[in-house]
Amino acid sequence: MTALAELQRRFHAALLEGRDGSVASLIQGNGIAPDRRLQIYRNAARLLLMEALKANFPATCRIVGGEFFAHAAAEFVARHPPRQPRLAEYGAEFPAFLAAFAPASSLPWLPDLARLEWAMLACQEAEEAPALGAADLEESAPETLPQLRFAPHPACCLLASPWPVDRIRSFALAPEGESAPAMQGDPIRLLIRRTPAGIMLRRLGNAEFTLLERLLASFALDEALDGVEGDPAPLLAAALRDDLFAKS
């Protein structure tokens, strides 16, 4: 390892793990102890990462309270420091981290709430892509339709949870005094998508969820429709209206 690479490795260790020893000796004091100087960088990095998690998981933060969130976030940052420079994309592993975070074990719905917030953020930040419209399908010959496969649009996704995390989220973000939703026994299936007016959540029935799950996984249309109850035509029309597929 080159001298600079070694210095940078040690500097990071000092900032992330608080091990100042090996890097402090390389720093000029000049009136302020080297470890105090390092502390300025350490505080700035921790604060920015904490703020990023708060911004990316606002309802999760609000519902557990700032102090609990800060505790969880500090441990998360130590275990999963970012591996890319976009703070709006930091925290992909946070829901799974919360699922294994012992102090949160009494809140079994918390990881799914975080999962919902992450899915909303991913839709919000997804790259722009032209959407497939009903008119585009008119160009396909009818006999090719059963074999048609769709590419998922990057700004939409599905989420299923045994908890009503959409209502829990609204409650968490509502002004104080709102009554809490029942925190149990209400499995939901959600469609999450970006619209010009913001991120929209819509609860789906079983048939629609199954169909969309298959279509977004690029099943051929006849495979996707296999065993789906009821008339699929309106569901398909709604999917096209909602811009769920990308133009290939």
Partner 1 sequence: MEKLPVSAGVGLRAPHHRHWLERRPAAGWIEAHAENYLGGGPGRKALESLRADYPVSLHAVGLSLGSAEGLDESHLDRVADLVSAIDPAAVSDHLSWSVSEGVYLPDLLPLPLTEESLDVVARNVSKAQERIGRPLLIENPSAYLCFRHSPIPEPEFLAELARRTGCGLLLDLNNLYVSARNLGFDAEAALAAYPGAFVGELHLAGHAVKRIDGVELRIDDHGSPVPDPVWLLFERALKLIGPLPTLIEWDTAIPPLEVLLAQAELAQVRLDRTAKRDAA
Residues of the shown chain interacting with partner 1 in the complex, contacts defined by CB under 8 A:
2-5, 7-9, 11-12, 15-16, 26-28, 30-34, 36-38, 40-41, 44-45, 48-49, 52, 81-89, 124-129, 154-155, 194
Pick between residue 58 and residue 181 the one whose CB is nearest to partner 1: 58
Q: Give CA 161 to chain center in angstroms.
A: 14
* Cβ 70 to partner 1 shortest distance, Å: 17
Cα–Cα distance measured from residue 66 to residue 60, given in angstroms and rounded to the nearest whole number = 10
Sequence-separated (6 or more) residues with CB below 8 Å from residue 157: 119, 122, 123, 192, 193, 216
Return the closest-CA partner of residue 134 out of 58, 12, 51, 244: 244
Pick between residue 128 and residue 138 the one whose CB is nearest to partner 1: 128
* Cβ 80 to partner 1 shortest distance, Å: 10
Pick between residue 124 and residue 170 the one whose CB is nearest to partner 1: 124
Pick between residue 34 and residue 232 the one whose CB is nearest to partner 1: 34
Return the closest-CA partner of residue 180 out of 191, 169, 189: 169
* Cβ 87 to partner 1 shortest distance, Å: 6
* Cβ 29 to partner 1 shortest distance, Å: 9
Q: In sequence order, what DSSP letters do the residues of 116-165 get, joined into one string?
A: HHHHHHHHHHSPP-PBP-HHHHTTS-GGGGGG---EEPTTEEEEEESS-H
Return the closest-CA partner of residue 224 out of 241, 235, 212, 242: 212
* Cβ 49 to partner 1 shortest distance, Å: 6
Angle between helix 110-125 and helix 165-173 axes, rounded to 10 deg: 80
Pick between residue 43 and residue 105 the one whose CB is nearest to partner 1: 43
Tokens, residue 232 = 């699929």
Say if CB 213 and CB 122 are below 8 A apart: no
Pick between residue 153 and residue 214 the one whose CB is nearest to partner 1: 153
Say if CB 156 and CB 127 are below 8 A apart: no
* Cβ 60 to partner 1 shortest distance, Å: 20
* Cβ 138 to partner 1 shortest distance, Å: 27
Pick between residue 142 and residue 196 the one whose CB is nearest to partner 1: 196
Q: SS3 of 199, please?
A: strand
